Structure 1
Amino acid sequence: MAPVLQSDACSGQYHQVVNSINSDYITISEYILLRIYQLGIRSIFGVPGDFNLNFLEHLYDIDGLEWIGCCNELNAAYACDGYAKTCEKMAVLVSTFGVGELSALAGVAGMYSEYSPLLHLVGTSAMRLKNTDKKFHHLLSGSKTYEAPDHYLYEKVAANFSCAQGSIDLDADKACSTVDRVLREIHRCLRPGYLFLPCDLTEMKVPTSRLYEPLIVDYVPQISSRSTAVVEAILQKIYSSQNPALLVDYFISRCKMTNTLAKLLSKLDGRVNVYDTFMGKGLVDESHAWFVGTYQGALGNGDVARAIEETDLVLRIGTFDVEMNNGAFSAKLQDTNVVSLSIDSVSICGELVTDVNMRDVFEMLVEQLDVERVARSRKYEISRPSRPTGNEPLTMNDLRTHIEQSLTPNDVLIVDTGSFMWATGTIELHGAKFINQFLWAAIGYAIPATLGACIAKRDSGSPGRVITVEGDGAAEMTLQEIASLVRYKVDPVLYLLNNDGYTIERVIQGPNRSYNDIATKWQWTEMVRCFGGGKIGQKIASRSDLSQLSIGAGLQLLELLLPKFDVPEELTDLLARGKS
């Protein structure tokens, strides 16, 4: 169905490694790393610290695992998000007690919000010290100087941002079960999970035989009379519709159900209009004959909105109904006309079902769908928005056109939170994958996420490049991760939008306030060389410069000089709606 499946090649490599172990016992550190390896993961992100060093030493015992050291833990978390979304596997982050794990927390929270699977392993204080009153570094001081510190305080915090937590203790058999439980829950919930490993237990011996016990992380669909009845109810709604539409949304990719979607699209080809959402972009090929466009409520193409809103039934697959995905709440789809399949529920024309979800019923629905009983939708021809031409000053609309013309299948487009993200709803991806963090909306995400995406493509041997767009204000937060792009010899193309500060904030409020200013004397085109790369970036000041741009091999940084208040019209429309 929609499981996390390791390839035959990964399975073979894992068993080859395990069969080469000549001891009845291994360390718990090796056990954790081998379970990670078993899942087809080959890169581990993080920052070393004195509480995780013993664990990290064992990484070099596992041939085929690579350490990807990042400049700080927040960046490492962003990199993990880029990795997980690119290769659709769990990412792995290693941090240290207190200062490290808390530094990563904002990025982990973003992954939790957007259902991005992560194993966050934290090296913690020694087990033998946890119940003492000794106060040492990285511990949060209590409200009274004479009170004993709480070594489990950070674990309690993490519980709010994760689907599972496991703290390793002195029981070796329980420790293995804890590891497996957390890994299963991460894959079931598609959210971060935590393992807390005390620094004095990294060498604890566990039976090698535990590695031969199955690690079943696949989601198992709940096939029951209830799910069967739900499918039958949905089919009757589809067969009764005179003008149905298919709306493809975010959780299709998160739940790894793109193959099932492809079967549905093939079945409905020539009959039903197809749309995608802002966060579902890239899941449907824009060249599909019945693809109408991206539905963003009042913020997107008006013709697209009118077309889908006048249908009598919308089959919405992978629903993620959040602000950034429903046109800032401007979508006008009526609940009574929508069948919605989401990660934790199904809604049938306003009737909410919480004991069955998309992963339980989607494949059954596609298999049982009798396409001859599906009415042929009214065909819509939607005009494409005009694109700028000539030699006028460079704008974000020009960059939108340029990127659309530059993308090729297997590329990955990463766009940071900022003004330009509002231009991406109408970009045709041409088979590229679109990665963002638009719900959590943390600025500074894109460059570290680019590292993760590049590593994911390298690990999987996937062709194509990573193309990244980020504003200057956001880039100043996490720019140091360019050093890692250089260090690990990856070759993304970075479009740096130099518009003298936080433009998206300027158009919201305080256009000329100093709080929206940033340091503007950065020599952006020198940054790759500053961090050890050999290339000088290119400065693009006009539409003509952009049209004549030639992008070569290797890491590229392209600085675009944009007007201070230039924003896409979609953002202007959003702000106007907010004031009306």
Structure 2
Amino acid sequence: MSAATAESLQAEVDRLRLELQTLKSKQGVEKVSIGNYLLTRLAQLGVKSMFGVPGDFNLGFLDLVEDHPDIEWIGNCNELNAAYAADGYARVKNNSLGVITTTFGVGELSATNGIAGAFSEMVPVLHIAGVPSTIQQKHRPLLHHTLGDGRYGAYAEISKQITCHTAWLSNVDTAAQQIDEAITQCLTKARPVYLTLPTDFVQQKVSSERLHIPLARIVIQNEPQTEEYVVDQIEQRVKEVDGDVVVLVDACVVRYDVKAELMAFLEATGFPVYAAPMGKSAIDETWKRYGGIYVGSITDPVIKENVEKAKLIISVGSLKSDFNSGNFSYNIPTRRHIELHSDHVQVAYAIYKDIGFKHLLPKLTERLQQFYPTASKIPVVPFEAKPPKGTTAIITQRYFWPRMASYFRSGDVIVTETGTANFGILDVPLPPKSTLVSQILWGSIGWSVGAALGVAIAAKELGLPRTILFVGDGSLQLTVQEISPMIRLGLKPIIFLLNNHGYVIERTIHGKHRKYNDIADWKWNQLLDTLGDRKTETKSYTITTPKELESLLTDKEFLSNKTITLVEIIMDRLDAPRLLEDQVAIAEKMAAQAAQAAK
């Protein structure tokens, strides 16, 4: 029995025990408040930090949070940033979740964009909304934070569009069960969940018996005969191509916790492996069989050839969005493609529902390891940084990103902003045990700053050495306030501010010289002092030339990382990474072809 199967069976046993506990007429005599029941459940799952903003409908609950021995309240500057922070936290804390607490109406709506992003990108975030008492909900007085028309459930209806589950607590007797179901859904589906907590429920007592049964992600058990048939089909396809297989990994490998199973599969089979942009760092990029990033037609020519010439491609956790696939330009014919997902498998044109990769991968490993002698001889060009030839007087995107490769260390958590950073980092090999956190599908500018707060807290809890943020000046202006709690909490992220005087990703797409892509040029080297607490030491640098950057990246004081640091990198207002320019070019070409066809 594989480890994944054993874990799933235990989770199913625990789930059945919870159902049995629910059916009992008497659940024991030990009581706990609903607020503390919820906090205990979160602590059991490794949640040590909660994000949000206080408001009068959640203050009673926040008393319990502040007094809790294992969970720290992280006060954010606004609810949108809090949602971003919970998103970042969840991405780093495997098998846990991010938690945001807001107040009714104004608070929860402010967080909506961040919650929607977590839904889009499949991140488990629990949104706790402090709401009016059940008596107020029944009689519907004209309360503040309402829409003035008595619709107290309007905000929950909005949340239904951007969460996988909503739980409106209205009955004390079922509150514990609803909390458990909400958290389990969040973990299992790797998407946000919305949970209301009425003010009069916070101190209401419920049985604590259910707390003795742990919660966990429920992984579907594959139907044995169908799974065996799928394994047979895949083995036959691999035999037909004499083991000429390439593996392509993507975001869902991380989201659904199959990194260990995937690595065991790759080690046993020897198949070459590449990653899509959203799958970057899902595989150790120093692994001898790892070849780099595949982004359809805009891929580095060597990588593109090595992927597309394979007679069979096995995708694991694929998510073919526009920016993740080179604007839908994968050159992988369906007949040569096998896709493994969390809830289905596709072999060429045949789709097998309810067959998930968590349990399938160990069986494929056992069956396909016979191809190692052949597969391990397929050449893989090492994924290495490629600095441009010659020198320039200014810092360019093509110089900057390859240069940063030698700055990174094992264990770094790297956050990149939607924009030039998301594209630039793709050409940079990362060291072992490092993690890249990015938001490619939802693409909300400013996300990275709030997310970096959550990432830095999670990294600190896990003992990871450094959090490094790459963000443009335009994006930073949207969410800059969240640097303040970083300083207040004593966190020490290194913030590389790419100052190209506006929205370069937008300029690259359209409007190179339009005023709507311009922003005010802040005094960035004074920012940390302005947002600081007057006592915490900070460091700021402004770098204008490659020589200055070289000097900084070898400076012992800078490398010591003793305090939060901001490094302003001055770049040209029209300079963009290669992949971004290529992405825009192919989009323009496809748009022109579509327009021509429509005539």
TM-score in same-fold range (> 0.5): yes
1:392 deviation in Å?
2.3
Deviations 1:163-192 (A, max 9, x none): 1111111x3231110001111111110111
Q: Secondary structure at the match of 1:527?
A: helix
Query: Which residues of 2 match residues 407-422 of structure 1 at below 5 A?
Result: 407-422=408-423
Residue pair 1:168, 1:197 contacting (<8 A) in 2 also: yes
The answer as to 2:127 corresponding to 1:120 is yes
The answer as to 2:204 corresponding to 1:204 is yes
1:293 deviation in Å?
1.9
Cα separation, 2, equivalents of 1:469 and 1:411: 13
Question: Bigger CA drift: 490-499 or 360-369?
Answer: 360-369
Query: Which residues of 2 match residues 515-530 of structure 1 at below 5 A?
Result: 515-520=516-521, 522-530=522-530
Cα separation, 1, equivalents of 2:378 and 2:220: 37
Residue pair 1:2, 1:257 contacting (<8 A) in 2 also: no
Cα separation, 1, equivalents of 2:273 and 2:82: 37
Q: Which amino acid aligns with 2:339?
A: S
The answer as to 2:411 corresponding to 1:405 is no
Q: Which runs of 5 or more residues in structure 1 are unaligned?
A: 7-21, 143-148
Deviations 1:433-473 (A, max 9, x none): 1110111000001111111011101122x232011100000
Cα separation, 2, equivalents of 1:363 and 1:414: 31
Q: Which amino acid aligns with 1:350?
A: Y
Residue pair 1:2, 1:256 contacting (<8 A) in 2 also: no
Cα separation, 1, equivalents of 2:44 and 2:218: 13
Query: Which residues of 2 match residues 295-374 of structure 1 at below 5 A?
Result: 295-372=294-371
1:355 deviation in Å?
2.4
Counterpart of 1:75 (choices 81, 86, 94) is 81
Residue pair 1:3, 1:217 contacting (<8 A) in 2 also: no
Q: Which amino acid aligns with 2:240?
A: S
Q: Which residue of 1 aligns with 2:12?
A: none
- Taking only the aligned residue pairs, the percentage that are identical comes to 31
Cα separation, 1, equivalents of 2:30 and 2:42: 20
Q: Which residue of 2 aligns with 1:19?
A: none
- Distance of aligned partners of 1:217 and 1:279 in 2 relative to their CA distance in 1, 3 Å threshold: closer
Cα separation, 2, equivalents of 1:181 and 1:557: 42
1:428 deviation in Å?
0.3
Counterpart of 1:543 (choices 546, 550, 554) is 546
Cα separation, 1, equivalents of 2:386 and 2:176: 59
How many residue pairs match? The answer is 554
Query: Which residues of 2 match residues 178-217 of structure 1 at below 5 A?
Result: 178-217=178-217
CA RMSD of aligned residues (A): 2.1
Question: Bigger CA drift: 505-514 or 26-35?
Answer: 505-514
Q: Which residue of 2 aligns with 1:393?
A: 394
Q: Which residue of 2 aligns with 1:60?
A: 66
Q: Which amino acid aligns with 1:548?
A: S
Q: Which amino acid aligns with 1:30?
A: N
Q: Secondary structure at the match of 2:35?
A: helix
Q: Secondary structure at the match of 1:405?
A: coil
The answer as to 2:226 corresponding to 1:226 is yes
Q: Which amino acid aligns with 2:540?
A: G
Q: Which amino acid aligns with 1:304?
A: I
1:83 deviation in Å?
0.7
Counterpart of 2:571 (choices 562, 571, 580) is 562
Cα separation, 2, equivalents of 1:262 and 1:75: 34
1:398 deviation in Å?
2.5
Q: Secondary structure at the match of 1:331?
A: coil
Residue pair 2:342, 2:355 contacting (<8 A) in 1 also: no
1:273 deviation in Å?
1.9
1:396 deviation in Å?
1.7
1:360 deviation in Å?
3.8
Give the TM-score taking structure 1 as reference length: 0.91
Cα separation, 2, equivalents of 1:232 and 1:160: 39
- Distance of aligned partners of 1:58 and 1:33 in 2 relative to their CA distance in 1, 3 Å threshold: same
Cα separation, 2, equivalents of 1:141 and 1:192: 28
Cα separation, 2, equivalents of 1:180 and 1:160: 21
Counterpart of 1:30 (choices 21, 29, 36) is 36
Q: Secondary structure at the match of 1:196?
A: strand
1:380 deviation in Å?
4.2
Q: Secondary structure at the match of 1:369?
A: helix
Q: Which residue of 2 aligns with 1:446?
A: 448
1:370 deviation in Å?
3.6
Query: Which residues of 2 match residues 259-270 of structure 1 at below 5 A?
Result: 259-269=260-270
Cα separation, 1, equivalents of 2:226 and 2:133: 49
1:280 deviation in Å?
0.9
Cα separation, 1, equivalents of 2:67 and 2:367: 49
Q: Which runs of 4+ in 1 moved over 6 A?
A: 3-6
Q: Which amino acid aligns with 1:98?
A: G
Cα separation, 2, equivalents of 1:48 and 1:477: 21
Cα separation, 2, equivalents of 1:217 and 1:397: 42
- Distance of aligned partners of 1:397 and 1:179 in 2 relative to their CA distance in 1, 3 Å threshold: same
- Distance of aligned partners of 1:456 and 1:5 in 2 relative to their CA distance in 1, 3 Å threshold: farther
Cα separation, 2, equivalents of 1:264 and 1:109: 33
Deviations 1:282-308 (A, max 9, x none): 122233222222111122201111111
Q: Which residue of 1 aligns with 2:11?
A: none
Q: Which residue of 2 aligns with 1:137?
A: 144
Deviations 1:383-423 (A, max 9, x none): 85741353421112222023211111110111000123212
Q: Which runs of 5 or more residues in structure 2 are unaligned?
A: 9-27, 590-599
Q: Secondary structure at the match of 2:468?
A: strand
